[in-house]
Amino acid sequence: MAPVADTPYNLSMPRAVKKSATTPERDILKLIPADEHRAQPKSRRIGIHTSTAGGVETSAERAWRLGCNTLQIFSSSPRMWRPFDISAAQCEAMLRLRQQYDLKPLVIHANYLINVAGTDPEMLEKSVNALRAEMERAISIQAEYVVLHPGSFRSCTREQGIANACAAISRASDGLNMEQNGLTLLIENTAGAEFSLGSSFESVAELIAALRAHVPVASCIDTCHTHVKGYDIVSEAGYEETMRNLDATVGLANVRVWHCNDAKAACGSKLDRHDSIGKGTIGAEPFRRLLHDPRHAHAAFILETPVDEPFDDLHNVEALKALAE
């Protein structure tokens, strides 16, 4: 049998053995021909975290072939401090493709190593430099948002952690003219691990309020994180109560991006394990409810679901788009 990358595009084809994320067997650029793509959603901005392998601009091509009209990327390795440069030619190509394919907003997820809430001087310095570099790259490719996990306050009080985060983010953004450049920092809620800043809606709201004096700031809410933290988004009544809570704290208008991830773990488990839409402990119906809620019409809905086998990314995009209809 020919390798998956050389076979005709067919959603019903047998799934192959799991491969590395960088292998052609799972790369949508190899699986779907250049002249073929899925229809983009009409009622909502729906996308997925997309690989930049081969150059940052290739992420736009991948998003287009998947049928997305928004996307999220890493602008550098998410687990390394090593700086990364994006050339002027790549920036120009990215902007051209985004305009051609109507891909907006563009969301950059910040490096996972960044911890702006802690007290260790070396870690804080690395975090400030890494976050500044993320923002600089975001401006260079005209991204609208940078999503940040604020980090851990293990070595201090929560109040000091918030103060540390504000000071570090203020330093990282100094002189970047984020508002004029159309860039907003989004604070993402976390799964509830001990000492994690932003694990409750109240904590996210408190951080946003403290940061408003320094940077344009809003929020990204992750469905998996919300669920495993202990908020009920599964039952209809629980969903409404959770939305009332979110609106009273963060404000639904401030939720610019929803990370749409099902969960492998139970509600309240605090275990951050993403699953494909409809296959986890959240199930499909809560995502339908979320996508049809008019209070979220301004937001982008971006998947961070696992791509273990060929076409997993396409199946999840198609599932979310179907729920939005």
Mean pLDDT along residues 190-209: 92
> Out of 144, 206, 272, 313, which one is annotated catalytic?
272
Task: Assess if residue 112 is contained within a domain.
Answer: yes
> Residues 35, 36, 79, 82: which is the catalytic one?
79
How far apart, in Å, do the first and last CA atoms of the chain sit? Answer: 37
The number of folded domains in the chain is 1
Q: Give yes or no: 125 in active site.
A: no
Task: Quote the tokens at residue 161.
Answer: 């952690």
Q: Which domain holds residue 268?
A: 41-324
| 154 located within any domain | yes
- Does the residue 30 lie in any domain? no
Q: Nearest-CA neighbor of 179 among 137, 131, 130, 144? A: 144
109 belongs to the catalytic site: yes
22 inside domain = no
For the stretch 238-283, pLDDT in tens is: 999 999 999 999 999 999 999 999 999 999 999 999 999 999 999 9
The per-residue pLDDT for 178 is: 98
* Percent of the chain whose pLDDT exceeds 70: 93
Does residue 178 come out as left (phi exceeding 0), alpha (psi in the -120 to 50 range) or beta?
A: alpha
Cα(63)–Cα(68) distance, rounded to whole angstroms? 5
Residue 84 belongs to a domain: yes
The CATH number for 128's domain is: 3.20.20.150
Residue-averaged pLDDT of the chain: 91
Whether 112 is a known active-site residue: answer yes
> Does the model's pTM come out above 0.85?
yes
20 in any annotated domain: no
Give catalytic status of residue 274 as yes or no: yes
User: Catalytic: which of 112, 212, 295, 325?
Assistant: 112
Average pLDDT over residues 43-59: 96
79 is an active site residue: yes
* H helix or E strand, kind and range, residue 263: strand 262-263
- Per the domain annotation, does 184 fall within a domain? yes
- Catalytic residue (one of 132, 227, 256, 274): 274
Catalytic residue among 25, 285, 304, 312: 304
> What mean pLDDT is predicted for residues 71-77?
95
Q: Is 23 part of a structural domain of the chain?
A: no
Pick the catalytic residue: 57, 61, 206, 222? 222
DSSP reduced 3-state for 259: strand
282 burial level (CB within 10 Å; 0-12, 13-18, 19+):
buried
225 is catalytic: yes
